[in-house]
Amino acid sequence: MKFKLIYPKWEKLDRQTRFTLPPHGPVVMAAALPNYVDVEFVDENVQEINFDESVDFVGISMMLTAQIKRGWEIAAAFRKKGIKVIFGGIATMLHAEEMQEHADSVFLGEVEGRLERVFEDFKEGKLQKVYNYMWDFPPIESVGTARRGILKRDLYNYRGVQMVDLMHASRGCRFNCYPCCTRFLGGKKFRPRPYDKVVEELANIDNNRLFIVDNSLAQDKDWEIGLFKEMIPLKKKWCSHPIEDNDKVLDLAAQAGAWFVYQTIFDSSDFIRERIKRYHDYGIAVEGSILLGLDYHTEDYIKKWMDFLLDIELDMAEFTILTPFVHTRTFDDLHNAGRIISYDWNDYTCGKVVFQPKMMTPEKLQEMYYYCWDRFYEEEPANYKMFKMLKKVMDKEKADGTYKPRVRE
Which residues here bind ligand B12, judged by CB under 6 A? 12-13, 16, 21-26, 28-29, 59, 61, 63-65, 86, 88-91, 94, 107, 110-112, 166, 168, 180-182, 185-186, 213, 215, 289, 318, 320, 325, 350
Of 127, 4, 124, the C-alpha closest to 60 is: 4
Among 55, 177, 199, 382, binds ligand SF4 (CB under 6 A): 177
Q: How far is the CB of 228 from ligand SF4 (least distance, A)?
A: 19
Select the binding partner of residue 176 from ligand B12, ligand SF4, none (C-beta < 5 to 8 A, by kind). Answer: ligand SF4
Select the binding partner of residue 13 from ligand B12, ligand SF4, none (C-beta < 5 to 8 A, by kind). Answer: ligand B12
Q: How far is the CB of 171 from ligand B12 (least distance, A)?
A: 7
Neighbouring C-beta atoms of residue 14, cutoff 10 Å:
11
Q: Does 182 bind ligand SF4 (CB under 6 A)?
A: yes
Select the binding partner of residue 362 from ligand B12, ligand SF4, none (C-beta < 5 to 8 A, by kind). Answer: none
Cβ 113 vs Cβ 172: under 8 Å: no
Q: Does 180 bind ligand SF4 (CB under 6 A)?
A: yes
Select the binding partner of residue 321 from ligand B12, ligand SF4, none (C-beta < 5 to 8 A, by kind). Answer: none
Q: How far is the CB of 115 from ligand SF4 (least distance, A)?
A: 26
Q: How far is the CB of 94 from ligand B12 (least distance, A)?
A: 5
Torsion of CA 218, 224, 227, 229, to 10 degrees: 130
Among 173, 261, 276, 286, binds ligand SF4 (CB under 6 A): 173
Q: How far apart are CA 234 and CA 165, in angstroms?
A: 15
The residue type at 112? E
- Give the Cα-Cα-Cα angle 26, 27, 28 (nearest 5 degrees): 90
Select the binding partner of residue 61 from ligand SF4, ligand B12, none (C-beta < 5 to 8 A, by kind). Answer: ligand B12
Closer to ligand B12 by CB, 121 or 251: give it.
121
Of 333, 330, 365, the C-alpha closest to 351 is: 365
Of 131, 130, 152, 120, the C-alpha closest to 43 is: 152
Q: How far apart are CA 67 and CA 75, in angstroms?
A: 12
Cβ 117 vs Cβ 89: under 8 Å: no
The binding track of 202-231 with respect to ligand SF4, each residue x by CB under 6 A or -, is -------------xx---------------
Q: Does 175 bind ligand SF4 (CB under 6 A)?
A: yes
Q: How far apart are CA 332 and CA 350, in angstroms?
A: 17
Select the binding partner of residue 83 from ligand SF4, ligand B12, none (C-beta < 5 to 8 A, by kind). Answer: none
Q: Does 269 bind ligand SF4 (CB under 6 A)?
A: no
The residue type at 105? S
The residue type at 160? G
- Residue 153 contacts by C-beta under 8 Å, 6 or more apart in sequence? 22, 162, 165, 207
Q: Give the CB-side neighbour count of residue 190, counting CA atoms within 13 A.
A: 18
249 in helix, strand or coil?
helix
Select the binding partner of residue 12 from ligand SF4, ligand B12, none (C-beta < 5 to 8 A, by kind). Answer: ligand B12
Closer to ligand SF4 by CB, 168 or 375: give it.
168
Closer to ligand SF4 by CB, 333 or 380: give it.
333
Strand pairing report for 2-7 and 157-158: unpaired
Footprint of ligand SF4 (CB under 6 A): 173, 175-177, 180, 182, 215-216
